Structure 1
Amino acid sequence: MAHKIRFLMAFMFLIIPTAASLAVAQANRPFYEGKTIRLIVQTGTGTTSDIAARVVAPHWTRHIPGNPNIVVQNMAGAGGIVAANYLYNIAKPDGLTIATMGRANYLDQMVAKPEVKFDFRRFSWIGSFNRSPMMIACRTDSGYTTIESMRAAKSLPRFADGATGSIGFVFSELVAAALNLKFKQILGFVGGGRALDLAIERGEADCRATSDITVIRPPWPGWVGKRFVSFVVQQGPKKSRLLPEEVPTVYGVAPPEAKPVLTLLDIMLAYTEFDRPYAAPPGVAAEQLQILRESFEKMLHDPKFSADAKKIVDWDGSYLSGAQLQKKIEQTVTQPPEILKRVKEILE
């Protein structure tokens, strides 16, 4: 009996340190080791958002302690609202589901669209990269090559766009209001940017409002080379590196009385400062959110990622950290009733 007791005591002395060692090892194990992160994309396959997310995934995992597997899943619908609703209401706040967000979906919230089931401010924002300011370009042979020529013209410049709620429509209408211009909106073009380009080519419209990144994508390089189009005005206040230096900004040429319109411009085009935003559900633990934010920012400073991102969106290195993005969205979405009313009037 004494022999058995001595044997059991010896066995316990052996397993207790082993169990303690395992517990310490488990505690020191990175949270994301052996786990899979699901990265939801708010658009279908083949879009710039989708391509960018698939470039981000392998670079990002290298900077997350534990190197989790990141799986991309497309969840298109309602201009990004479907994915945002899912992330806000269904996805678990366990740090294992993140999403690339529709950058302008905060406007859907501000105008109280019934399908919106989220508060953009409450997402756990991880960070964003790239800026994408707006500009207006017109066919050179239309004669609308400057703000002055638009103002002096006998007929109104015709702008091609899809619908009144589009960002191109919003920008052109705000520019018209700020600079005391009048435009004729030709709406109903279906098929995105290419459909609008074709409208310009065919002479169905004279002008188009779009983001500056458009100029690096076909057919724009050829258009610019042949002087088929002229750049009339750009968003600002900071000038785009992709446009000629002499192209004026709305802020630079707007009269003092246009200040209320410029305030609306700041709000409604705030998304141009966060072109590729990433978020997790509300309520993610602070430790996990910090890991995601820090690893995302480390990725943005990785030369290998920078090279790939430049190929997709001609990235200039601009980005917002998670904290900066959270603050920007909070300031943008939180507005007094009179501003919300004006935003709704413009978008409707």
Structure 2
Amino acid sequence: MKRLAISAAVVATMAMSGTAVQADDFYKGKTVRIVVPSGSGGTYHLYCQILSRYLGKHLGDGTKVVTQNMPGAGGIKAARYMLNAAPKDGSYIAMINPGSIAMPGLRKNVGFETLKMDWLGSMSGRAYTIGVYHKSGINTVADARKREVIMGTSGKASTSYLIPAFMNKTVGTKFKIITGYKGGGAINLAMQKGEIEGRGNFYTGYLGVWPEAVRDKQVVFVARLGPDRPDIQHIPLLRNMLKTDRQREMLDILEVSFNVGQAFYAPNNLPSGRLAALRKAFWATVKDPATIKEAGKRHLPMRSQTPEQVLSAIDKVFKKPPQAFAQLSKMLGFNKKRKKKKK
């Protein structure tokens, strides 16, 4: 198993290394692309947009940084592209769709391994919620046990599929999950139009792009999970609704998505020094007062994590019992054998 030994001290040391300086020269005048694993209109896009505005000045003179949206399969499409097709010269980086982090342990042939990714770090972990539109008449998890509630998601690797599907099997909700939306913005719009009734979303996902959802109570929150926040104490914890240790182990696997949050990575096997340069520039960017100020204006948390912290959190989850992964995979409807068509 690959280990990544990097800390804040190591990041600082990179600034003095010859290989990092050489890689910095590579970025002068170049264009770097940040692959966004979703469509526009949501906070995944916002985080990438903010990073793109300030990363260039920490990479080299004249470096241009742009975003490239690549929605599909709840983030799997972007991860597969980055690790199997993207240029391996340091000109491409990407945000992981948080729901994709545990996928290698839950789905066969997913096409990437998060334990082997070359992580740059995370901009922030984030609290997660299950919410329904205020006109739905659903106010609690108990209400969602009584009738079918239509939920929207981009795909089955997205947290907006994983958590409602998990709740159906563990706490008895009747969420009907519709896949195929191109990102958070499209799902929010579908809620307001009445196409769907609810969704799973980061709490700050509303604050960043649809503040009225919280301010005017347009969304009713029935459950929460992931990192704590002082302003969400009134929302019931999903963990407290679970009945067995195995269910809590399975929730641990899912919660890595929220504890790691908005993490970024580069393709494997970059030329010598460029990964170090990217990590150095990423860390400088997330600690840049201008970055933090802009994120604050968008109500986006900035609780940055080093590559070491990101990998440690993922490694801890993949040490959970194989039985927990197998049972969770079955719960979520993964790895089903396809029936052969009769001739």
1:174 pairs with 2:174: no
The equivalent position to 1:299 in structure 2, one of 265, 277, 285, is 285
Q: 1:216 to 1:254 in 2, by over 3 A?
A: same
- Name the CA distance, whole Å, in 2 between partners of 1:201 and 1:248: 24
1:232 pairs with 2:215: no
* Partner residue in 2 for 1:5: none
Q: 1:270 to 1:91 in 2, by over 3 A?
A: same
Cα deviation, residue 95, structure 1: 3.7
* Partner residue in 2 for 1:212: 203
- Name the CA distance, whole Å, in 1 between partners of 2:77 and 2:182: 20
Cα deviation, residue 61, structure 1: 2.7
Q: 1:37 to 1:342 in 2, by over 3 A?
A: farther
- Name the CA distance, whole Å, in 1 between partners of 2:159 and 2:44: 17
Q: 1:69 to 1:186 in 2, by over 3 A?
A: closer
- Name the CA distance, whole Å, in 1 between partners of 2:233 and 2:253: 25
* Partner residue in 2 for 1:264: 250
What's the TM-score once normalised by structure 2's chain length? Answer: 0.73
- Name the CA distance, whole Å, in 1 between partners of 2:322 and 2:235: 35
Unpaired runs of 5+ residues, structure 2, are 1-17, 334-343
Q: Mean Cα displacement is larger for which, 116-125 or 130-139?
A: 130-139
* Partner residue in 2 for 1:150: 143
- Name the CA distance, whole Å, in 2 between partners of 1:167 and 1:33: 39
1:101 pairs with 2:83: no
Cα deviation, residue 30, structure 1: 4.2
* Partner residue in 1 for 2:83: 88
Q: 1:159 to 1:210 in 2, by over 3 A?
A: farther
Structure 2 SS opposite 1:269: helix
- Name the CA distance, whole Å, in 2 between partners of 1:199 and 1:92: 36
Q: Which amino acid aligns with 1:240?
A: R
Cα deviation, residue 240, structure 1: 3.1
Question: Deviations for 1:80-105, whole angstroms, at most 9, x for unmatched residues?
Answer: 33432333234455444322333322
Q: Which amino acid aligns with 1:170?
A: L
- Name the CA distance, whole Å, in 1 between partners of 2:254 and 2:131: 20
1:131 pairs with 2:125: yes
Structure 2 SS opposite 1:185: strand
- Name the CA distance, whole Å, in 2 between partners of 1:219 and 1:129: 21
Q: 1:41 to 1:203 in 2, by over 3 A?
A: closer
CA RMSD of aligned residues (A): 3.6
Structure 2 SS opposite 1:104: helix
Q: 1:203 to 1:292 in 2, by over 3 A?
A: closer
**Do 2:155 and 2:180's aligned partners in 1 also have CA atoms closer than 8 Å?**
no
Structure 2 SS opposite 1:231: strand
| Identity score, percent | 20
- Name the CA distance, whole Å, in 2 between partners of 1:103 and 1:43: 10
- Name the CA distance, whole Å, in 2 between partners of 1:85 and 1:128: 19
Question: Deviations for 1:184-236, whole angstroms, at most 9, x for unmatched residues?
Answer: 42636856556655665566765543221243256551x54554543222114
**Do 1:42 and 1:83's aligned partners in 2 also have CA atoms closer than 8 Å?**
yes
Q: 1:231 to 1:316 in 2, by over 3 A?
A: same
Cα deviation, residue 306, structure 1: 0.9
1:59 pairs with 2:48: no
- Name the CA distance, whole Å, in 2 between partners of 1:199 and 1:210: 14
Structure 2 SS opposite 1:283: coil
* Partner residue in 2 for 1:254: 241
- Name the CA distance, whole Å, in 2 between partners of 1:215 and 1:143: 20
- Based on CA coordinates, which of the two structures has the bigger radius of gyration? 1
Q: 1:277 to 1:290 in 2, by over 3 A?
A: same
Q: Mean Cα displacement is larger for which, 287-296 or 44-53?
A: 44-53
What's the TM-score once normalised by structure 1's chain length? Answer: 0.72
Question: Deviations for 1:225-268, whole angstroms, at most 9, x for unmatched residues?
Answer: 554543222114x4335x443222223x335x332112212212
**Do 1:134 and 1:211's aligned partners in 2 also have CA atoms closer than 8 Å?**
yes
* Partner residue in 1 for 2:324: 339
Question: Deviations for 1:257-295, whole angstroms, at most 9, x for unmatched residues?
Answer: 332112212212311223322111223467443332233
The equivalent position to 1:276 in structure 2, one of 262, 278, 303, is 262
* Partner residue in 1 for 2:313: 328
Aligned length: 311
Q: 1:240 to 1:181 in 2, by over 3 A?
A: farther
The equivalent position to 1:39 in structure 2, one of 33, 36, 44, is 33
Q: Which amino acid aligns with 2:301?
A: D
